[in-house]
Structure 1
Amino acid sequence: MEFSIKSGSPEKQRSACVVVGVFEPRKLSAPAEIVDSAADQFLSDILRRGDMEGKAGSSLLLHGVPGVEADRVLLVGLGKEREFREKEYRAALATAVRQLNETGGFDGTLYLTELDVRKRDVTWKIRQAALVVQETVYRFDRLKSKKDEVRRPLRKLTFCVTRRNELAIAEAALAEGLAIAAGVELAKDLGNLPGNICTPTYLADQAKQLAKSHGLGVDILDRADMEKLGMNTLLSVARGSHEPPKFIVLRHAGGAAGAKPVVLVGKGITFDSGGISLKPGPEMDEMKYDMCGAASVLGTLKAAAMMKLPLNVIGVIPSTENMPGGAATKPGDVITSMSGQSVEILNTDAEGRLILCDALTYVERFDPECVVDIATLTGACVIALGHVATGLLGNHDSLARDLLDAGHDSYDRAWQLPLWDDYQEQLKSNFADMANIGGRPAGTITAACFLARFTEKYNWAHLDIAGTAWRSGKEKGATGRPVPLLTHFLMDRAAHAPKPTGKRKRR
């Protein structure tokens, strides 16, 4: 789809459809009032007749509105004006795009981006508009023999701003929003692919393609490489699978030479059966989403590369399946990790932390500015926070605040949980340095406590996306979260990072 930014009066737009908002009860937004004035109170008359109340989620398509150059005018319900905030703004945009896609017109001009959203500026509104539009038109149907086709799909969309001096800002925000949307789409596509296609090898191949198309450095470690490094906890998870494990390293060298990198570590379990501690059958198909942490790292690296962020970023993805089998790791086995610490594996379904702990030890070699791991780690996080907020824990308060702020800025929110030493008691083992589970109480926290034992040499934060990485039910599918949060986090870091002094050769 083609996007553009414009400033101008709505009644003068030569477009297949102009979109304006109506608040409840029957109150025209400012752009709608301009259309109404040009149309000799045509919209007001329609509202007085009761054709539309302005309720959120409602819409009304009008043809041949007098005094308006556009072929159609689409009225979108906004709900009550005093309650119009981020959620309502995004919902109104989604409603508009769905309706535009069904009008038969190839283009649309949105004046919803001129609406006031409390404490949000033009940059935020345009970024979000780009994200919402791409999310609304997204379809994952590549594996269907017969695809659902839109009769005359929307091909061009124009976002409008109130003042001409906002055009440059809005153009920059649009480019950023589209880059983030591209990263989200990549993460969704990878998450939605079934485990028989999206294997560790497939993830590695996708990383190579991303590196080639966006000038990133890439290294792929195979089983033999991991054995030499002593990544025994990662390899213990891979034992039950015929699919070979992969350890993926991607580098975006956009920052100053020698500047410490931000490292993102994504859990890449391409299918999680639970191993010997087998999961129950219902909804096990959703365990193809257990690599959404890995997908979010690839998506974020893509967005960073598209924006050419002046920052050094390294993405690290430990990837394997977790399957039962004669060679699979058993409950009670003791494994020595790459760090030298031994782990008693009491539950093979707590495998994410086992592949992450070796990855978190590996990244010490990069002397990182900070490390953020992203993982669909615990069902306990879903119980604690539902499907709204991502769980956040870490060993550095300033880093945690930066991530919380990025979640607020991107409307991809996180919530911080405590990481007190008191919880470490639950990981005690009679036979090893630690157990890989700490029991039912505070399961999200004790999982992070496990990871914390491997991150003492740098500033680290953990994002548990078990409740936010995908949706179940009728709308089942990957969400692409937390690509927006991570990208905003990197954008803020890049804004304060030392600037590159010259061209750097990328590997």
Structure 2
Amino acid sequence: MDFRALSSAATLWAETPCDALVIILNANMADQGLPPALAGLLDDAIKAGDLALKAGRVLYAHRPAGVRAPRLVWSVAANDSAKSLRAAAQGAFQALKSGGARHVVVARCGAKGLESAHAQALVGAVQDAAYVYRHTKPSAPPAPALARVSVLVDKAELKGVQQALIQASAIAEGVALARECANRPGNHCTPTHLAQEARKLAREHGLKVEVLDRKAVEKLGMGAFLAVAQGSEQPLRFIVLRYEGGRKGEAPHVLVGKGITFDTGGISIKPAGEMDEMKFDMGGAASVLGTLRAVAQLKPRLNVVGVIPACENMPDGRAVKPGDVVTSLSGQTIEILNTDAEGRLILCDALTYVERFKPASVIDIATLTGACVIALGHHHTGLFTADDEMAQALLASGQESLDPCWRMPLDDEYEEALKSNFADMGNVGGRAGGAITAAMFLRKFTGKYRWAHLDIAGTAWKSGAAKGATGRPVGLLTRYLLRQAD
């Protein structure tokens, strides 16, 4: 989709040529500063009771008098914040979604400028409204006709807003890729399919890719990863993607994404209710692919490596059993007390593997624990790191991208829960602080570099009527990497 910034004074909004004009109103303003034609239409709508200046209200008008566009949408934002703009834009574009508008122009009342966060909010709202999953659903509605969105701004803002839209558009493309991968059912999105997606991404965007099979993983000694994969008929894949935009030899930033393409829980099998949603357990892997897609389009001056250990977790006769002890790539032994705590097992070998890159920073992304959902719900991703500088960069990146995270503790006392009588550690502790003890487990494999863990169990997908992948935290990760390049 084409996003552009156009220079225009508010007095000319009604005369702008387009298929639809969207005007974002501000609930806090009695006078929206509109030209007479638009002000009159707004007054009439309010007096008739069709619209109120309350956040979330939307009104569609067809062929309004005095407006060049054949479609006019009023949408009310709570204030000038990027978060409010996103909500208002989502409402407006939902009203246009099933129509024939190809070129939509957006204008904001009372805005004091369009910052990068606002641009990302607007672009994200548009792409979210336009996204339709159809890979395994031939009856899905056709894609919206929308092809171009223009944002009206003052001339002084034009260059900055255009650059912000370019960044936001690349992030939105990455989010869309992550959603598409995660939404595919487990019999379509297998570890082999993830490897194919990585190869396609590398081919189309000039990345380097390497895919290791079981034999290569066995040779390396990834005992924890192999243990999880041994119960599945689907072959495992260990995927390494490289974006080389920085100087040769410059330390890369590494993203490690959990790629469990379906998680039954193994022998510690999950309840049947909502188990279908375990196709989303590769949301971390999807976010790595999406972030590399955005980075490759934006071409920042840094090096990035994406690592994805991918397999299924199935309860076959060969599957790993509770009480089994395996040896990880690091040489540390692990007593597998619960086979449904498998994500940390594939990640720990990947986290040891990335030592070879001598990384500037490492972030692992995983739908790791239900405990994180209990702690934070579905709004904030759980952030775990002992590195204050990384924490601040990730928190700020989350705020800028409207993809927020919340820092959780990593006190040494939590490590007590992972003690084992039969191995160097158990793979689970008790129920208390489950998201924290999972992060403490991963920390045992990250002592040689700066590291952060993102638990996206509550943010990677939605349930219920809106069931589907969100594409998070592609926005957060991309903003973090752009910050490192700056």
Aligning the two structures, in what range does the TM-score lie when normalised by the shorter sequence? Answer: over 0.9
Deviation of 1:333 after TM superposition, in Å, equals 0.5
Q: 1:89 aligns with which of 85, 89, 93?
A: 85
> What are the within-5 Å matches in structure 2 for residues 483-498 of structure 1?
483-495=474-486
Q: 1:108 aligns with which of 83, 104, 111?
A: 104
SS in 2 for 1:441: coil
1:127 is matched with which residue? 120
2:132 is matched with which residue? 139
1:155 is matched with which residue? 147
1:321 is matched with which residue? 312
The residue type paired with residue 141 of structure 2 is D
Cα shift readout 1:407-453 (whole Å, capped 9, x = no counterpart)? 11111000011111101111000011000001101000000100001
| Change over 3 Å in CA distance of 1:299–1:395 after alignment to 2 | same
2:40 is matched with which residue? 41
Deviation of 1:4 after TM superposition, in Å, equals 2.1
Deviation of 1:155 after TM superposition, in Å, equals 2.8
How many angstroms apart in 1 are the aligned matches of 2:117 and 2:29?
27
Deviation of 1:20 after TM superposition, in Å, equals 1.4
Deviation of 1:127 after TM superposition, in Å, equals 2.2
Deviation of 1:296 after TM superposition, in Å, equals 0.3
1:395 is matched with which residue? 386
| Change over 3 Å in CA distance of 1:421–1:213 after alignment to 2 | same
Does the CA contact (< 8 Å) of 2:53 and 2:76 recur in 1? yes
| Change over 3 Å in CA distance of 1:104–1:217 after alignment to 2 | closer
- The TM-score normalised by the length of structure 1 is 0.92
Does the CA contact (< 8 Å) of 2:86 and 2:124 recur in 1? no
2:270 is matched with which residue? 279
Q: Which moved more, 1:401-410 or 1:349-358?
A: 401-410
How many angstroms apart in 2 are the aligned matches of 1:39 and 1:252?
48
Identity of aligned residues (%): 51
Deviation of 1:221 after TM superposition, in Å, equals 0.7
Deviation of 1:115 after TM superposition, in Å, equals 4.8
1:256 is matched with which residue? 247
SS in 1 for 2:363: strand
Cα shift readout 1:103-132 (whole Å, capped 9, x = no counterpart)? 4333221103x6538xx8422212221111
Does the CA contact (< 8 Å) of 1:211 and 1:250 recur in 2? yes
1:77 is matched with which residue? 76
Unaligned runs of 5+ in 1: 496-507
Q: What RMSD, in angstroms, separates the aligned Cα atoms of the two structures?
A: 1.7
> What are the within-5 Å matches in structure 2 for residues 450-461 of structure 1?
450-461=441-452
2:95 is matched with which residue? 99
Unaligned runs of 5+ in 2: none
Number of equivalenced pairs: 483
1:430 is matched with which residue? 421
Deviation of 1:73 after TM superposition, in Å, equals 2.4
Does the CA contact (< 8 Å) of 1:304 and 1:487 recur in 2? yes
Deviation of 1:39 after TM superposition, in Å, equals 5.4
Cα shift readout 1:64-101 (whole Å, capped 9, x = no counterpart)? 4444322232222334x5xx533321111011111123
Deviation of 1:387 after TM superposition, in Å, equals 0.3
| Change over 3 Å in CA distance of 1:269–1:103 after alignment to 2 | closer
Does the CA contact (< 8 Å) of 1:395 and 1:452 recur in 2? no
1:373 is matched with which residue? 364
Does the CA contact (< 8 Å) of 1:140 and 1:189 recur in 2? yes
Does the CA contact (< 8 Å) of 1:338 and 1:361 recur in 2? yes
Does the CA contact (< 8 Å) of 1:353 and 1:447 recur in 2? yes
Q: 1:13 aligns with which of 16, 21, 31?
A: 16
Deviation of 1:310 after TM superposition, in Å, equals 0.9
| Change over 3 Å in CA distance of 1:27–1:74 after alignment to 2 | farther
Deviation of 1:41 after TM superposition, in Å, equals 2.8
| Change over 3 Å in CA distance of 1:25–1:227 after alignment to 2 | closer
Q: Does 1:333 align with 2:332?
A: no
| Change over 3 Å in CA distance of 1:233–1:146 after alignment to 2 | same
How many angstroms apart in 1 are the aligned matches of 2:446 and 2:25?
52
Does the CA contact (< 8 Å) of 1:21 and 1:28 recur in 2? no
> What are the within-5 Å matches in structure 2 for residues 226-245 of structure 1?
226-245=217-236
How many angstroms apart in 2 are the aligned matches of 1:147 and 1:166?
39
How many angstroms apart in 2 are the aligned matches of 1:155 and 1:121?
22
How many angstroms apart in 2 are the aligned matches of 1:86 and 1:159?
14
SS in 2 for 1:489: helix
1:504 is matched with which residue? none
SS in 1 for 2:233: coil
| Change over 3 Å in CA distance of 1:246–1:63 after alignment to 2 | closer
| Change over 3 Å in CA distance of 1:121–1:13 after alignment to 2 | closer
Deviation of 1:170 after TM superposition, in Å, equals 1.2
Deviation of 1:289 after TM superposition, in Å, equals 0.5
SS in 2 for 1:52: coil
SS in 1 for 2:372: helix
The residue type paired with residue 19 of structure 1 is V
The residue type paired with residue 61 of structure 1 is Y
The residue type paired with residue 106 of structure 2 is L
Does the CA contact (< 8 Å) of 2:82 and 2:117 recur in 1? no
The residue type paired with residue 124 of structure 1 is A
How many angstroms apart in 1 are the aligned matches of 2:139 and 2:394?
42
1:61 is matched with which residue? 60
